[in-house]
Amino acid sequence: MSEIKKVVLAYSGGLDTSVILKWLQDTYRCEVVTFTADIGQGEELEPARRKAEQFGVSQIYIDDLREEFVRDFVFPMFRANTIYEGEYLLGTSIARPLIAKRQIDIAREVGADAVSHGATGKGNDQVRFELGYYALEPNIHVIAPWREWDLTSREKLLAYAESHGIPVEMKHKNGGSPYSMDANLLHISYEGKVLEDPAREPEADMWRWTVDPEQAPEQARYLDLTFEKGDAVALDGKALSPAALLAELNRIGGEHGIGRLDLVENRFVGMKSRGCYETPGGTLLLKAHRAIESLTLDREVAHLKDDLMPRYAALIYNGYWWSPERVALQTLIDHTQQTVNGWVRLKLYKGSVTVVGRESHADSLFDPTIATFEDDHGAYQQADAAGFIRLNALRLRIAARLRKSR
């Protein structure tokens, strides 16, 4: 292990990565550089710096990546209307390629031999991080402590922390959540504890971002989202940066109980897992984006996007953001978004979101003179439908005649 001189650790300052920091120093006898990404998790990050300093770390990176996260990762994903297994909006998955990218950038800046992460050997994140590392720096050395050490339980981690003087904040003893959580500007996730029994309802006090829909306001809330080339750029007529817009949608959606999900999903590593998610802003974005596309996209283009979306979603879920096939799909998706311009009006009420209006002055393919139920003055020749139907029924009629002849 002596060939490792310097390693960049993806570091949160929590129990796992605090133990990993000391373990790397003791096991590899190497210099550790810590990297903490601010992607909107809503936590104070300076304690992570102080912890790292306590253990002699001299190069500490705490980077505000919120705008880059939403602009270059969340928004491109939402242009595809991406959902994994019919429900999951990929809040954890989409953050990993950005963290991997910045971690590799830092490794280059400081001349590190290796990178390290705190993902366990049971989860998807180890795959997502490491596929990103190798795609961006093919010869990088990756240290995954959970696949090497014998600290196989929370109790062993706590014992290690105590024996090495690592301060650990026992949040669950002070009213905090006992769940394994991941948060960023797109979502917050919960795993573990009672959720390990798929038959049990989540505890009411688990949820942090959204009110119980039953307790949401009695008055519906309307909001308008403006889109340019497939991306939301303004809320109720006010232009906002990508991160600011998503944060405000999270606030509004959370107040109305929007975006809760309880899901048993298929992990890439082979097992099923149960998780709960809050994605209020993303739920609103997806609803509005599909609405503006319904007005501005050609039918076959829209259907092609829907056909490709599950493949695109699986690529992100499984960690292939940096793969050539994801880039190729993104090129096609982004090409379709050139005409996705206009505004959408949403109605929020007690956990539900409904599209109640949409308009695109320049790019709408909705022609009221043709679609009208009133006199269209010859804009659409209804008699043409007879030949259209006969031709489309031809193969069905041939097959039916054959069956009757037998």
Is 99 within 8 Å of 40 (Cβ atoms)? no
3-state secondary structure of 149: coil
246 lies in the same domain as 114: no
Is residue 171 scored above 90 in pLDDT? no
Place of tokens 């993104």: 330
Active site residues: 16, 96, 125, 180
3-state secondary structure of 277: strand
Q: Which of 175-184, 269-278, 304-313 has the lowest mean pLDDT?
A: 175-184
352 lies in the same domain as 389: no
Q: pLDDT digits over 336-359, tens only?
A: 999 999 999 999 999 999 999 999
Say if 229 falls within a structural domain.
yes
Q: What's 329's domain CATH number? A: 3.90.1260.10
154 lies in the same domain as 59: yes
115 lies in the same domain as 262: no
From 121, 145, 169, the end of a domain falls on 169
204 lies in the same domain as 142: no
Question: Which secondary structure element, helix H or strand E, spans residue 399, and what is its range?
Answer: helix 384-405
Helical residues (DSSP H) of 70-123, grouped into ranges: 75-79, 96-110
Furthest-apart CA atoms within the chain: distance in Å: 87
Say if 83 falls within a structural domain.
no
261 lies in the same domain as 147: no
Q: pLDDT digits over 232-251, tens only?
A: 999 999 999 999 999 999 99
Give me 236's structure tokens.
């109720």
192 lies in the same domain as 274: yes
284 lies in the same domain as 145: no
Bridge partners of 349? 352
Residue 317: band (very low, low, confident or very high) from pLDDT cuts 50, 70, 90: very high
Structural domain that includes position 141: 6-68+92-169
265 lies in the same domain as 381: no
Is 242 within 8 Å of 71 (Cβ atoms)? yes
Question: Which secondary structure element, helix H or strand E, spans residue 378, and what is its range?
Answer: none
Is 396 within 8 Å of 390 (Cβ atoms)? no
Q: What is the radius of gyration, based on Cα positions, of the chain?
A: 25
Q: What's 14's domain CATH number? A: 3.40.50.620
Say if 44 falls within a structural domain.
yes
Is residue 19 scored above 90 in pLDDT? yes
